Structure 1
Amino acid sequence: MSTPGKPTAKAEARALAQRERILTAAQKCFVVHGFHAASMANIADTAGMSAGLIYRYFKGKNDIILAIIERQLEEARADIAKLHATSDLVSGIAEVFQQWQANDPNITSAALFLELTAEATRDEEIAAATHASDRVFRSDLAAWFARSAKDGGLGIPKAAVDTRVLILQCLIEGLAMRAISQPDLDVEQVKTALDQFLPSLLTA
């Protein structure tokens, strides 16, 4: 029996599904139009619902952007949690690069990453959320680098962890840019480059 005034599990699941539908539509609109040109009406049309319904879940575009940042962090943390000492990071990064090239809607696109980065230079609230998300992401990566191999980590000496994390982030973010500026880049060439570089970065 449900508690009066408390949403049922079915209602909560429906609300979550509606939020995800809105966020997915918003991501598409932000990539196509940019944050400022994309309107709530655009998002509503893409989501196949009324703008009024969207306002039941989000106060406005900034709320949607903040929710997207939060969702991206959750996805990134889940990916890091799956990493272990024997993870094939070369294949994993190459696969993401291909998804960026194909504008795969199931992952954060390279274009959306650039939109968020640019918007963080103009909006203090989004900047704060972006910086906070980045700190958590770096912390999770650093924990993986520092953990011993027997615990699923890389066993990187503590003094070298922050530098290695920075290099890996710059590499991945650079590939996101490369997916946009060089969309015809052969993924095998990316793999070759990663094979030459990553082992020294990931070895204690």
Structure 2
Amino acid sequence: MDDQQLLPSRAEMRREHLLEVARALFITHGFHQTGMAQISAASGIKMGQIYRDFASKEEIIASICERDVADWLEEEVLAAAVKVGDIPAVRDWLDRFLRSDEPVEQCRLMSEIVAESGRSIRIAELNRTVDLRVRDSLAAALAAIAPESEVGGEREALVDFILALGLGIMMRRTFDPNLKVDPLFGYVSAIVDQRIEALSA
């Protein structure tokens, strides 16, 4: 494969630029206070071109979320570790997942997306799709670390517990950007370790 094939096309660069600009506007002003005209003005991309690339503002939100989730979840890293039985690498993935130390701006954006689920069918569908991806990854990690966790629905309960705590910490950080995440990570990690040990005993 030559260098030309590795370089993004002008259309891809334009779309990436628009997504970055829209992301910043959504974080600063929220979804409802950010219109397509504002995105057009800030990005320097004409409205007609935006609508050729994205059918609606919801599609822009969906594209941002898809990209962010893919970068954050690192599904291919987890899948490779699970495939070869590299339990320390799986545990590293799980620890990174539990840490909840994304930038505060990302927490604000995720809070906007969660809130928008009640108003937009498209965003609600997006959230369900993301939730399934996250749940599948967490379940795969727990299955590799503690195969016994499937007994009695324990694995599903532990996945729900991790997700509930993670969402709670993310919301707390939107209210308190100075929230100290490390002590919380210590608590969550210790509880998850206790449950894994209990299931493996």
Q: Place the TM-score, normalised by the shorter chain, in its bin.
A: 0.7 to 0.9
- CA deviations 1:82-137 (Å, max 9, x no partner) are 3663234446643x42x333x3xxxxx11111111111111112212211221122
Per the alignment, residue 122 of structure 2 pairs with 125
Per the alignment, residue 49 of structure 1 pairs with 45
2:12 aligned to which of 10, 16, 32 = 16
TM-score (norm 1): 0.75
Per the alignment, residue 147 of structure 2 pairs with 155
1:26-175 aligned at under 5 Å gives the runs 26-79=22-75, 81-82=77-78, 85-86=87-88, 87-88=91-92, 89-90=94-95, 93-94=98-99, 96-97=100-101, 99-101=102-104, 103=105, 109-147=106-144, 153-159=145-151, 160-175=154-169
Give the Å deviation of 1:193.
2.4
- Matched residues in 2 for 1:69 and 1:124: separation? 15
Q: Which has the higher helix share?
A: 2
Per the alignment, residue 4 of structure 1 pairs with none
Q: Percent identity?
A: 27
- Matched residues in 2 for 1:52 and 1:143: separation? 43
- Matched residues in 2 for 1:11 and 1:92: separation? 31
Per the alignment, residue 5 of structure 1 pairs with none
TM-score (norm 2): 0.76
Asked whether the equivalents of residues 149 and 196 of structure 2 are also in contact (C-alpha less than 8 Å), the reply is no
- Matched residues in 2 for 1:79 and 1:10: separation? 22
User: Could you say if the C-alpha distance between residues 79 and 47 of structure 1 is closer, same or farther in structure 2, counting changes exceeding 3 Å?
Assistant: farther
Asked whether the equivalents of residues 98 and 189 of structure 2 are also in contact (C-alpha less than 8 Å), the reply is no
Asked whether the equivalents of residues 75 and 137 of structure 2 are also in contact (C-alpha less than 8 Å), the reply is no
2:177 is the alignment partner of 1:183: yes
Asked whether the equivalents of residues 98 and 162 of structure 2 are also in contact (C-alpha less than 8 Å), the reply is no
Name the stretch that deviates more: 164-173 or 176-185. Answer: 176-185
Structure 1's unaligned 5+ residue stretches are: 1-7, 104-108, 148-152
- Matched residues in 2 for 1:63 and 1:49: separation? 16
User: Could you say if the C-alpha distance between residues 129 and 90 of structure 1 is closer, same or farther in structure 2, counting changes exceeding 3 Å?
Assistant: closer
- CA deviations 1:29-54 (Å, max 9, x no partner) are 11111111101122223334333332
Q: Paired residues, what number?
A: 184
Give the Å deviation of 1:158.
1.1
Structure 2's unaligned 5+ residue stretches are: none
